[in-house]
Structure formats: structure tokens, C-alpha cells
Amino acid sequence: MIQIFTDTSANLPASYIQKYALRVIPLHYSINGVQAEQDPTIDFDGKAYYDAMRSGTSVSTAMINIAAFLEPLREALAAGDDAIYIGMSGGISGTAHAASLAVEELKEEFPERKVASIDTYAASLGEGLLVLEAARMLENGAPFSLIVEQISRRRHTMCQYFTVDDLAYLERGGRVSKAAAIVGTVLKIKPLLRGDEEGKIVLCGKTRGRKQSLTALADFYEKLVADKTEEIGIAHADDAECAQFLLDALRKRGFTGDCLTVCYEPVTGCTSAPARWRCSSTACTDKEKPEDMSSGFLSLFPVDLPDHFLELRARAHDLAPAAEAAELEVRADAQHLPALSHRRGAAFSSSECHRLECPSLTLP
């Protein structure tokens, strides 16, 4: 027998976990300094969590260590089963490295068993969709080697696109300077980001205005995806209205498949903060045949501007004329921006993603 493992970053509903008998390793986060972890057997209460963040509750993440993987994987192998762990991007977290170390240790301990760790280069439903694909393959009788080969290949065609509604938390996390955040907010600049070939987050454009940023993501989907009957996923941080807006935009662009909609789980949501929202889309592409695309993922974040940020708006009007023709630089090195589900491919090369620079400002 083969057991499929993942982590709570995969953002899968409890019903899916139960249906496919998935083994889920909980990732850690802290609320006001108290460590917590999500129970994967119960659907996450996103409204309560993001309401708490909006009210000023301090949240943070903590990387799990190798022991978190050794114990459940060892249990499966000792029972005579093989195990495949499909997890969060190593480009944004050390979780993948810890899992890899655990697998190498267990290979020596159980040489007669098969065990593998797959870095999805993704998070949230980008990771989750790959987990579901593996689970469905297993359900249909696929052997260990075929599942590992297929998911290892498909991860390279998962594309992720998303945006943020305001720049306050980018500024707090050191992604932009305070001055750039002020100007960007006044000008309603919405950065467009994607996951790159290493599962890291890079900037690939900008828009002016909230609806335009959502529409831009729908446009990415329309351009990239050939088979619009494939299942997609939408993850939002307590913003079902925007999720529906995005889904409607996709329907208008020909999407006819099923859509899995969830609220962002606490670890991905924790690093993003409720004062902005993200929209990401995934499309499968064949690297050598960019026109052969399928599947997708989209996600969004609701936002509320902090009081101190509102107070700074007025000052930005003095800077706005000088920056009107400028573009905003965002340092998206993914240390504070978790990647969202994403089938990466060759549809957009790294040269097409660019840094948005504001020459009138001094940026860190």
C-alpha cells in the first residue's frame, strides 16, 4: 500500500483529506506568541482568524523540524507501506528541506521500502491540486514510481499569479520602502507577482486599481490555458465576494470546469496579513509547447488599511506628481510572501518579469 502525505499548506478541505485518506503534517504558527497548529480534520475558521488579524492580533510562523516528518513517515514504513510526501515550496520555506532530510534518513533505515519527498514549488491550492492529482492516480491503481514521476513533472508546469490590494504589509515586511508604499497606495498601484522556476516569488507587472488587478489575473488565465474544462481552485482570506468576482471573470473567458474554493489556511495567510489580498492563477504548460496548457489556480486576499497608513496618505500627494510616470519596486524574495498554488511553465520567462522601479524615491 502507498500512503500520500502532505502538509496543511496544501489548503485542502477536511472532506478531501478524508475521502483520499491523506496524511497531513500540520505546520506551526503563533498567535500573540502562543504556538498553534491547524487540525487538518476540521475545516479552518478563516473568518475568525482574519478578523483577529484585522483587530491587531500578532501572528507569525515557525518552521517545523525534521522530527515532524520522521515520526509519521517512519510509522507508515514500519507498517509495511510506501510513502510519498508532496509539500510546500522550498523556495519560500525550509519545510521542503526538512522533509528531504527525513526521507534520506528513512531510506537507510528502511531499504526495503519506497519513500519519496516532492517539493511542489508551490503552496496553498497549487500544492493541493498536485496532492489531489497524486491521490486520484493512487485511487486508479497507479504504482509508486509513476505517481512520483508524474507529480515531479507536473510541478514544473504549475503557474501562479497573484496581486496585493495595498502595500502596507509589503512595507512592514521590508518589501518596499515607506515612501514607495505611500506613493503606490495613492496611485492605486497593484503589483502582479508569480512563482518562478524555483518556487520563489517575483514581480511580473502592475496595474492601477483593484478590479484591474483581478482582471489582469483572469487575462493571464485566458492567455495561458488551452483546456478550460480543467479544475481550478480559488483560495481567499475571508473575501468570498472577490473570489466570486474573479471566478465570474474566468467564466467570461471560457472557463467551464469545476472550481475548488477555500479560505487560506493560517500559515500561508499568516505571512501575508489581512491588510492586503492576493489573487493568483495557475496554468499548466508544457515547457517545450507553451500552447499546450491546462488546469489553474487563483487566490485572493481581503484588505483593510491600518490607521497609521491612512494618516500617511495625505503626505503622499506631494510625491505623487514625481512618481506618476514611475513604477514601484517590490522586493519579492519570498521570505515574507508565501507562494500560492502554481503550475509553473515556460509561458512567462524570467526576463518577462521585471522589477518595478520608482527612480524618484530611495528604495532599500
Mean pLDDT rounded to a whole number for the chain: 76
The 10 Å Cβ neighbour count of residue 174 is 12
Distance between CA atoms of 85 and 88, rounded to whole angstroms? 10
171 compared with 139, residue with greater pLDDT: 139
Rounded CA-CA distance 119/92 in Å is: 11
What is the tens place of the pLDDT at every residue in 212-231? 888 998 998 898 888 889 88
CA distance 323 to 326: 5
**CA distance linking residue 293 with residue 61, whole number of Å:** 34
- Residue-wise pLDDT for 94-143, tens only, equals 999 999 999 999 999 999 999 999 999 998 898 999 999 999 999 999 99
Q: Please, which residues have CB within 8 angstroms of residue 98's CB and are 6 or more apart in sequence?
A: 63, 64, 65, 66, 68, 69
Torsion of CA 51, 55, 57, 60, to 10 degrees: 60
Q: pLDDT at position 130, please?
A: 94
pLDDT of residue 112: 97
CA distance 275 to 164: 9
pLDDT band of residue 4 (cuts 50, 70, 90) is: very high
pTM, rounded to two decimals: 0.77
Percent of the chain whose predicted confidence (pLDDT) is above 70: 71
Q: What's the full length of the chain, in residues?
A: 364
| Enclosing H/E stretch for 75 | helix 67-78
Cα 202 to Cα 99: distance, rounded to the nearest angstrom: 25
Residue partners of 310: CB distance under 8 A and separation at least 6: none
Q: What pLDDT, on a 0 to 100 scale, did the predictor assign at position 17?
A: 98
